[in-house]
Every structure is written in structure tokens, then in C-alpha cells.
Amino acid sequence: MQERSVDVAIIGSGTAGLNAMGQVRRAGRSFVLINGGEPGTTCARVGCMPSKAMIQVAEDYHRRTHLGKYGVDGHEALTLDSTEAMEHVQELRDTFVDRVLGNSTDDMPPDLFIQDYARFVEPTLLEAAGQRIRAGAIVIATGSRPLVPEGWRTFGDRVLTTDTLFELEDLPVSMAVIGLGTIGLELGQSLRRLGVEVTGFDQLQTIAGIQDPEVASCAIDLIGKEFPLHLGQTAELADENGRIRVTAGEQSVVVDRVLCSIGRVPNLDQLNLSVLGVPLDERGVPEHSPTTMQVGDLPVFIAGDATGDRPILHEAGDEGKIAGFNAAHGTVQAFRRKVPLFINFCDPNICAVGMRWNDLRQDETAVGEIRFAPVGRALIMGKNRGVLRVYAEKQSGRLLGAEMIGPKGENLAHLLCWCISQGLTVGELLRMPFYHPVIEEALQAALYDLYRKVEAKNSGGLTELEPL
Ligand SMILES: Cc1cc2nc3c(=O)[nH]c(=O)nc-3n(C[C@H](O)[C@H](O)[C@H](O)COP(=O)(O)OP(=O)(O)OC[C@H]3O[C@@H](n4cnc5c(N)ncnc54)[C@H](O)[C@@H]3O)c2cc1C
């Protein structure tokens, strides 16, 4: 078998792999990029972008339910052509995929971009497309795939995943969404708003991974008004005359299709990682450092969803950069990771920032809260639902984290994340300007509530203004 040598071999041309390649190119090293399956990234093909396109259509269509309040005539007569809606989602998706390919692999010669699945022969030797590649360093960026229980595969295309959902030409009449984490909840709500009879199931007693009990109960209440949520029991499937009966404890429903969104598994099982000689966890993920991305003490790095750690896009990008940098420079430089930021684009948005509820030391933490019901701007928008909870260190007033379900949560979460990154206190935040009437006034109210509960107070007589 033909063998050739490169400085760095990157396995996977998703977001993590492409970011790694950027670092290797910048360092002027020779490399090869190897990708099995469809190129174009999970984000653009079957992830962030088509899901957000679907959410947008669903939200715009759902807005008709408010129009009667303004005296808009004919809003009740609005209908949706779901085939056209799906075509729109597919067209946008294709645009995003083309854009990724145009900026990355389209013009790469076959010796630099190999389209095949790779596997390890030795820690620095790979096999792909009938050739062997000896690499000074290797980056594993193979992403993840939807987890589907073996027994559910017998239902064929009646059980959908995010790999197949966006391909639908038309929407089914009824659907069960099993798994109400970020992906299941976003898509379940959108499908409901697009007219599908959706029933949601999750074995946990919470949705969207929410940990704060106040936020969780508010979210379950709000989302539960749109479609039934059956929580706390494992769902089972059975064939019923060509349809599917979904049963969880006492709850049972017969549907046309099931969206299986119970989690994702790292694509590591085909790589023959046992040759690395490092411990693998139960998902097959090799022991690695989250700050250097190094696997054991080998010249091998891992990045993106393949790590199973932080399966979101900006983290995959960061990990790709760290892995690519270290692989290209022959270093194991550690990099500080960013403050955690999670956004669920359901309506209202569900977000978590910084330290999570379960990790807080409750005796040393102050909690501020605002309900969105009376917030002026939220009321004007017809979106005054939800709750925002902010956490700070009681003694120093330093902001630690937040969880929320509320309008424009995606923006509030960014503001909070940036403030936590800067190590700011509640008092310092209250000295920032807040325009009127904006949704940030809800954050201001939560901060006032929090400020009352922390020991550190602003000096100079006025909380909001610094004396000259
Ligand atoms: C429905 C959905 C919605 C999402 N929404 C958001 C969102 O709104 N915001 C957000 O931040 N994140 C979101 N994500 C997560 C985000 O898309 C992922 O975290 C990110 O795309 C992971 O990038 P990656 O480079 O690790 O993997 P990928 O982009 O999956 O790339 C991995 C590549 O490696 C290839 N490969 C696998 N095995 C091999 C092998 N043995 N040899 C060679 N190649 C191989 C794969 O075929 C693939 O092309 C969403 C995900 C999904 C599924």
C-alpha cells in the first residue's frame, strides 16, 4: 500500500476540522484533510442552520395568532403550504452548505482532501482511500451522529432523526418527539407551530437541560401549553397497523412518525482507537485535556463533537483551533476555555450562562429574579412570559451565572456571558446604561433584586452612578 508523510493529518472536515486546518495552513505545515460522509459540516447540512431556518418559518407563521389583537383582518384565514415551507428550509440549507464548501474544500486537490473514512493503524499512521498516511501529528475531528436505539431501526423511515427530518417533502399529521433536550425541544415546538400534532417525551423531569427549578417549572408550564409533555418515564415504541404507538408509563399515543432526539454519539467507533493505548470512556472517547485537546501524551489531538464534552458550534471551532495550533507547532500549549453559554432557540428562548445551578454553592450564592409578565417591552412585543434568574457570589457580588426562559434570551445571555467573562460584580453591572424601553430592563430589574442580596455595595452614595 502506498505510504506518504505529512506534518499534520486532520480527520473530519466539519467546523472543528476546518478550524484546525486553518491553524495548520497558517503555520505553513504540510497536511491532509480526510473526510468520510457528506462534506459541508453538520452545522450547515443537518444542524444549526436548517433547524434555525425551520424555527424562523414556524415563529413567523405562529405570529398570526397575535394579529387579531391589533385588528389585522384575515389573520385567521392564513394557511401554510408545508411543502413550500420545507423547500424554503432546504434552499437555505443548500445556500449555507455551498458557502461552507466554497470557502473550504471545493478547490482542494485530491492529495490534500481525501474523501473517505480514516482509521488508525498506529498512533501516527492512518489508512484511508487505499493509502497510508504517516503524520507528525493527527487531529481527530469526526463529529457525532444521532443516537438511535437498535430496536427502533426496524421502524425504518417512520423514525426520523435530524439527519432525515430536513429532507421531508411534506410534514406528517402527527409526530412524537422523544428526547426534549435542546434539539428535540426546538424542533418539537417548530413542528407544532407548523401544524403537526406533536407529543413530547423525555425520561427526565426537566426539558432543554434546565437545572434551575424555578426556570424548569416555568418552561414546562409554557411549552406544555403548546403541546403535551410527558416527562419522567422512558418511551417505548410498538408498531400499530403501520403507525407507531409510543408508550411512557401511563401515557400512550399513536403517531405517524417519531423524531428520535435522545442524544448524539461521538463518531469514534470506526477509527480503531484502541491502537492509541490510552483509556477510552464508555462512549469510546479517549482520555484528553480540555485545555490542550491532547490525547494522553501522544501527538494526537481531538476536537469538536467527537469529544462529547461541549457539543456546540463555537466550542467546536475553539477546540479545532487549539488542536490545530498544537498539532502544527509541536506544542501542548493550554488555552483558557470560554465561559459556558447555551442557547435554545425555542420561543421564548431558554438559556444558561456560566456556572450551572447544580454546581453552585447555595450557601455562598445570592439569586436575583425577574418574571417577564410585567416587563414593559415584553408586553408590547406580546411576549411577556418567562423568568430570568441571575446568580452572584454573596460576599463579593461577582456574577457567576444565569438561567432563563424569556424573550430575546439569546441577547440577554450574551450580555451576561460577556460580563461574567470580565469578572464584573452586580454593582458594576448596574452602573452600565440601560435604555428605555428595552428587554434589557428585565435584566436590570433582576440585577437590582440580586444587588439587594449581596454584601458588596457600590461606594459613593448612588448605586447607579460613580462619583467623580
Ligand atoms: C439539529 C442540530 C441543531 C444544532 N444547533 C446548534 C445551534 O443552534 N448552535 C450551536 O452552537 N450548535 C448547534 N448544534 C451543534 C453543532 O452543529 C455541532 O456542535 C458542530 O457542528 C460540531 O462540529 P464538528 O466539527 O465537531 O463535527 P461535524 O461538523 O459533524 O464534522 C465531522 C466530520 O467528520 C466526518 N467523519 C466521521 N468519521 C470519520 C472518519 N472515520 N474518517 C473521516 N471522516 C469522518 C463526518 O462525516 C463529518 O463530515 C446543532 C446540532 C444539531 C444536530
Q: CATH number, domain at 24?
A: 3.50.50.60
> Do 25 and 160 share a domain, yes or no?
no
Average pLDDT over residues 47-51: 98
Cell of 168: 421531508
Q: From the CA of 300, how far away is ligand 1's center (Å)?
A: 20
> Do 171 and 191 share a domain, yes or no?
yes
Q: From the CA of 44, how far away is ligand 1's center (Å)?
A: 9
User: Is 349 a pocket residue for ligand 1 (Cβ < 6 Å)?
Assistant: no
Q: From the CA of 41, how far away is ligand 1's center (Å)?
A: 6
Choice from 13, 126, 142 to test ligand 1 binding pocket (greatest atom count within 8 A of CB): 142
Nearest-CA residue for atom 12 of ligand 1: 312
pLDDT tens-place string over residues 79-97: 999 999 999 999 999 999 9
Residue 65 included in any domain: no
User: Is 50 a pocket residue for ligand 1 (Cβ < 6 Å)?
Assistant: no
Query: What whole-number percentage of the chain has pLDDT above 90?
Result: 98
User: Is 36 a pocket residue for ligand 1 (Cβ < 6 Å)?
Assistant: yes
The mean pLDDT value of the chain amounts to 97
> Do 198 and 309 share a domain, yes or no?
no
Cell of 136: 507528525
Q: From the CA of 207, how far away is ligand 1's center (Å)?
A: 22
Residue 210 included in any domain: yes
Q: Read off the DSSP letter of residue 88.
A: H
Residue 203 included in any domain: yes
Residue 286 included in any domain: yes
Choice from 270, 312, 319 to test ligand 1 binding pocket (greatest atom count within 8 A of CB): 312
Question: Whole domain around residue 223: which residue ranges?
Answer: 150-262
- Whether 182 has a pLDDT exceeding 90, the answer reads yes
**All residues at 6 or more sequence positions from 163 whose CB lies less than 8 Å from its CB, including other chains:** 46, 145, 146
Ligand 1 atom with least separation from CA of 128 = 42
Nearest-CA residue for atom 2 of ligand 1: 47
CA distances from 343 to 163, 170, 182, 259 (A): 21, 28, 8, 21
Closest CA to 391 of 411, 409, 368, 412: 368
Give the model's confidence band at 99: pLDDT under 50 very low, under 70 low, under 90 confident, else very high: very high
> Do 157 and 187 share a domain, yes or no?
yes
Q: CB-hemisphere CA count at 13 Å for 391?
A: 22
> Do 165 and 202 share a domain, yes or no?
yes
Q: Last residue of a domain, which of 212, 243, 262? A: 262
Residue 94 included in any domain: no
> Do 225 and 365 share a domain, yes or no?
no
Instruction: Please give the pLDDT value at position 70.
Output: 87
Closest CA to 134 of 7, 296, 261: 7
User: Is 129 a pocket residue for ligand 1 (Cβ < 6 Å)?
Assistant: no
Q: From the CA of 441, how far away is ligand 1's center (Å)?
A: 36
Q: Which helix (H) or strand (E) holds 137?
A: strand 131-140
Residue 240 included in any domain: yes
User: Is 35 a pocket residue for ligand 1 (Cβ < 6 Å)?
Assistant: yes
> Do 289 and 429 share a domain, yes or no?
no
> Do 14 and 129 share a domain, yes or no?
yes
Nearest-CA residue for atom 19 of ligand 1: 312
Choice from 19, 164, 262, 313 to test ligand 1 binding pocket (greatest atom count within 8 A of CB): 313
Can you tell me which residue has the cell 428526547? Answer: 179
Q: What are phi and psi of 187, to 5 degrees?
A: -75, -35
Give the model's confidence band at 23: pLDDT under 50 very low, under 70 low, under 90 confident, else very high: very high
CATH number at residue 412: 3.30.390.30
> Do 138 and 278 share a domain, yes or no?
yes
- Strand, helix or coil for residue 446: helix
Q: Are strands 264-266 and 144-146 parallel, antiparallel or unpaired?
A: antiparallel
**All residues at 6 or more sequence positions from 409 whose CB lies less than 8 Å from its CB, including other chains:** 343, 348, 349, 350, 351, 386, 388
Cβ proximity of 284 and 164 under 8 Å: no
In terms of Cβ atoms closer than 10 Å to its own Cβ (0-12, 13-18, 19+), residue 23 is buried
- Strand, helix or coil for residue 181: coil
> Do 301 and 347 share a domain, yes or no?
no
Per the structure, how many domains does the chain have?
3
Instruction: Please give the pLDDT value at position 1.
Output: 85
Residue 125 included in any domain: yes
Separation CA 123–CA 448 (nearest Å): 55
Average pLDDT over residues 270-295: 98
Beta bridge pairs of residue 285: none
Residue 335 included in any domain: no
Cβ proximity of 413 and 341 under 8 Å: yes
Give the model's confidence band at 181: pLDDT under 50 very low, under 70 low, under 90 confident, else very high: very high
> Do 251 and 319 share a domain, yes or no?
no
Instruction: Please give the pLDDT value at position 145.
Output: 98
Q: Read off the DSSP letter of residue 21.
A: H
> Do 217 and 228 share a domain, yes or no?
yes
- Whether 416 has a pLDDT exceeding 90, the answer reads yes
- Whether 257 has a pLDDT exceeding 90, the answer reads yes
